[in-house]
Amino acid sequence: MNKEIFIATRNKGKIAEFKAFFQQKGLTVKSLLDLPEEIDVVEDGNTFEDNAMKKAETIGKRIGKAVLADDSGLEVDALNGKPGIFSARYAGEAKSDEANNKKLLTELSGVPDKDRTARFVCALAIYFPTGKVKTVRGTCDGIISQTLEGDHGFGYDPLFYLPQLDKMMAELTKEEKNKLSHRANALVKLADYWEEWSKENI
């Protein structure tokens, strides 16, 4: 019985959301933060899927277990899809959420609300020790607001307005976000695996 799921991420915001999701399924989440050594994976793919696969495969081969990885980001229409796969490093290698949000507001200054449409994208990859890899993609549509609001979540959540809820993503609890986010929409596409995972050793 394997009641543990290993996720190849160091992002604490993602880890908290995965924990809330997998807890309900009786699975314990482990991440790169639980490993004694720091394994670096260079995210040099051209798509979210390429990067997610590389993270899952590199870590899976190293630890000899099935591994889940997440590569995600924000696509803003007025910026022709930027920052996209470069979302984490948008304002530089320091990967600061605060600096990234500030840069996004600057880049969009003067752009009216109707043209501030955007989507979060999440590619998930699962690597199996057999060598098999499976990827899926989930998205979530919204609008980039003019000011930061809300203190839940992480990353670009304080700038991401959800018109259907009249709320910012950063105003949602983890449980609420896990019902509609790009990550949640991708996780649902792998539902068959989670059932298998909690029953068998994969």
**Does 71 participate in binding ligand Y43 (rule CB under 6 A)?**
yes
Task: Reply yes or no on whether 166 is catalytic.
Answer: no
Which of 40, 44, 71, 113 is an active site residue? 71
Nearest residue to Mg ion by CB is 88
Looking at beta carbons only, is 93 or 200 nearer to ligand Y43? 93
Distance between CA 118 and CA 129 in Å, rounded?
A: 36
Nearest C-alpha neighbor of 178 from the set 138, 127, 130: 138
User: Rounded to a whole number, what is the distance in angstroms from the first to the last CA of the chain?
Assistant: 9
**Does 149 participate in binding ligand Y43 (rule CB under 6 A)?**
no
Shortest Cβ 17–ligand Y43 spacing (Å): 7
Let me know if 119 is exposed, middle or buried by CB neighbors in 10 A (0-12, 13-18, 19+): middle
Beta carbons of 74 and 13 less than 8 angstroms apart: no
Distance between CA 61 and CA 49 in Å, rounded?
A: 18
Question: Between 84 and 113, how does the x/- string for binding to Mg ion read (CB under 5 A)?
Answer: ----x-------------------------
Among 27, 29, 153, 194, binds ligand Y43 (CB under 6 A): 153
Binding site for ligand Y43 (CB under 6 A): 9-11, 14, 43, 70-74, 87-88, 100, 120, 153-157, 181, 183
